[in-house]
Amino acid sequence: MLFDPRPKERREEMFDREKELEAILRGMGEYPITLIIGIRRVGKSSLLKAALNEYWGIGLYLDARRLYAAGSGNISASVITDELSRVLLGRGRFGFLRGMNIEKVNLGGIQIKPRDMGFMDILEVINRIGEKTGHKAILAFDEAQYLRFYGSRGGKDLLAAIAHAYDSMPNLGFVFTGSEVGLLHDFLGLDDYSSPLYGRIYEEVEVRPFPRELSEEFLRAGFSEVGLNVPQDDIKRAVEELDGIPGWLVEFGFNYWKKGDPKKALETTMAKARSMIREELLELERRSPRYTLILRAVSMGLSRWSGIRDYVETKSGPITNARMATLLRNLEKMGWIKKENGGYRIIDPVVEKVLRE
């Protein structure tokens, strides 16, 4: 159902994402590494799970945010291996194992005791499973930029293990998704000479918001699915407020379906969005209070460097050009703002509205 607020897991549950889904499946089959990028709430997790469901080999799904939370902000080797153990043994939240009992697979003398194994050992097990099944096994990390909190070296040890698997385990592939696209690229370092993954070949699939007409079509299709004939003006108003980000459109459609009132549906959607976005802004503010000051400045229409800096200095005191440049660059990498035509803008219009309040 299109208006189910939970992440989708099958192709038939999705709307107009066939091109992206086929690209992900092609990446899984033909490339050692596949990246799925896009801003928050655009549907990357749904596409990943749908692709793992259709992929002809086995797939293991780990949410790096869950690993980050389980480790209280620091991802240890034991956190990852414990989660992988649960998934391998069929007890994790998402393991696309095709009904296979991993403990009964003959892996050429390797005894599977995931809880007693290190990360590299588990990668070798997954590689052997891929070899035995005749199809490359996939290990997928959702919101993989959080893996930079692995260990004490910014995730370098984890990347070194993945680089070793890339070089010596041909029956194992990796998928990484990221909303903070710049941070994901920086963490993986596929184009950074100092990174263990430098120079490795990869496929990249970008998931974009719907254009306006497709957003309206999505809402019409969702309402038709639940038997509602909704006035076009209500649909247009919702798209004007929420733009083409599927997460917000699903929330609105679900609330309209349940409440039957366009005004209340939009208010409820915005209330939830406000709560989620404010939590994200609080997390951002903990990194630096100036991040939120910059975002507020941009949301007010101060798109140029000088205007943003004047606002920040008025609120928090002097700031150097170098520090200002770093903060703006980081906000771009985290997917909050975009630079175009010499100025900056907030990418998500709903975030912009919340910042203006």
> What's the pLDDT tens digit per position in 295-314?
999 999 999 999 999 999 99
- Of the CATH numbers 3.90.1150.10, 2.60.40.1180, 1.10.3720.10, 1.10.8.60, which one belongs to the domain with range 212-278? 1.10.8.60
Q: What share of the chain has pLDDT > 70, as a percent? A: 92
What mean pLDDT comes out for the span 122-130? 88
Return the structure tokens found at 310. 């004047």
Decide: 23 and 203 in contact? Cβ < 8 Å: yes
**Tell me, what's the pLDDT at 111?**
54
pLDDT in tens, 166-200: 999 999 999 999 999 899 999 999 999 999 999 99
Domain ranges of the chain: 17-206, 212-278, 288-356
The enclosing H or E element of 254 equals helix 246-259
Decide: 281 and 289 in contact? Cβ < 8 Å: no
Instruction: Tell me the average pLDDT of the chain.
Output: 91
**If you search the block for the tokens 């891929």, which residue do you land on?**
130
> Has residue 108 got a pLDDT over 90?
no
Of the candidates 154, 156, 191, 188, the residue with the CA atom closest to the CA atom of residue 174? 188
**If you search the block for the tokens 């655009």, which residue do you land on?**
42
DSSP calls for 271-316:
HHHHHHHHHHHHHHHHH-HHHHHHHHHHHTT--SHHHHHHHHHHHH
Q: Which CATH superfamily is domain 17-206 in?
A: P-loop containing nucleotide triphosphate hydrolases (3.40.50.300)
17-206 and 288-356: identical CATH topology: no
pLDDT in tens, 210-246: 999 999 999 999 999 999 999 999 999 999 999 999 9
> Which CATH architecture does the domain made up of 288-356 adopt?
Orthogonal Bundle (1.10)
Decide: 200 and 235 in contact? Cβ < 8 Å: no
Of the candidates 41, 54, 62, the residue with the CA atom closest to the CA atom of residue 13? 54
The enclosing H or E element of 343 equals strand 343-346
